[in-house]
A and B are shown apart, each in its own frame.
Chain A
Amino acid sequence: MGRFHRHDDGSEHSHEHLHDHGVDHVHESDGTVRELTPEEAAERAEHIGDHTGYETGNERIEVLERIFDENDRKADANRAAFDAAGVTCINVMSSPGAGKTTVLARTLTALKDTVRCGVIEGDIETSIDADRLAGTGATISLLNTGDGFGGECHLDAPMVAHALQRLDLSALDLVFVENVGNLVCPAEFDVGAHRRAMVASVTEGEDKPLKYPVMFRNVEAIVVNKTDLLPYLSFDMDQFLANIKAVNPDAAVFPMSATTGEGVDAWIEWVKQG
């Protein structure tokens, strides 16, 4: 779910291709999907709200509310709470198995004596990741999205607000939000962090930035983890870096191995800059 909407004509990256289906595709009684042409989209951007009612006898109520407004308001409140306590918050995202928890464990251990860290640990079920981080000296607030939050595949601002109740921000300098492993949904939800980072890994394939551009262009830092495995893989690092550059030219990129510690220092420096 949440992947690209693939078009029936199978077109790939055909820049000149203009959508020519201005017709309503009626899928079922519950709804309709209409593909707008670029011309319609441009006009819409200029005259948003200037629509003609299409069902006579019924009243049309203009809403024009961004779907994420409610989440974003809560995210702003979270950010204000961090700011008031002088805490920097970093939202860490990745696909499942990229090594997010290992990267965090190494980061927390490196910061142990100089920076007071907290972690909001998001997982659908279990406390396995939280348990792994428990020995690092950081304060952990576990948030199981399967427990009263509908088993969500991402953390949103209200969930993080809930987890914040169990963190004493006045005793912390830095809070990591370890998001649920998923390259689509977490990118859309502002949780109130100041900085956003993601962990990719060399076992995932060079095409990931192109397949999940919303995530890759949504972060300021990208860890490319598991470089110790490079000798055993056909992973093309140059191609991967070029793909990152195509979707997010400004991202700071940190190839490293959280297992061996190789390349970790530059990432730790980025974390400390906050």
Chain B
Amino acid sequence: MHELAISRSIASIAERSAHARLARGGTVTTVEVDIGHLRQVVPETLVWAWSFVTEGTALDSSRLAVNHIPAVLRCRACGAQTVLTDVFTLTCGTCGDGNVEVISGDEMVVVALIVEDNNG
């Protein structure tokens, strides 16, 4: 359900951003988003939700391109970088310190749209 709500938000941003082009008969072919690993979104589920959230709307048959951004921490104590995979323990993988900064993995952004002009 999480992915469904997020898909709706993406669609709303995309429709608003493409409004002028859509009004001139353009078609949105691709919507590109960055989703950070820490957001607990399943990218495949987001794509699946996109297909029926956009059905029958101005974004029908557009493609959702998801860039899945890894979660990377930087340790303030030893400076090492840690890439989190399955378990989200927010500690340094090298020295175990908990004083870490999230470098990437928090993203949740509509990056861009690709619009095709249909007027020839």
Contacts and interface: CB of A to CB of B under 8 A. Distances in A.
Interface of A: 1-7, 11-19, 27-38, 41-42, 44-45, 48-49, 51, 53, 55, 57-71, 150-154, 156, 184-185, 188-189, 210, 213-214, 217, 245-247, 249
Contact of B10 (A13, A35, A67, A150): A67
A65 B50 contact: no
Given A30-B48, A31-B63, A41-B104, A63 B70 contact: no
A27 B44 contact: yes
Q: Which bracket fits the contact residues of B?
A: 35 or more
Secondary structure at the B interface, as helix, strand, loop or mixed, is: mixed
Counting chain B CB atoms within 10 Å of each CB, the highest count among A36, A42, A245 belongs to: A36
Contacts, number: 213
B3 A41 contact: no
B77 interface: no
Interface in B56-70: 63-70
19 contacts: A2-B2, A2-B3, A2-B42, A7-B86, A11-B85, A11-B86, A13-B84, A19-B83, A30-B48, A42-B72, A44-B67, A58-B116, A66-B108, A67-B109, A150-B4, A213-B88, A213-B90, A245-B98, A247-B88
Nearest to B41: A2
Contact of B108 (A17, A30, A51, A68): A68
A210 B29 contact: no
Contacts of A31: 46-47, 50-51, 63-66
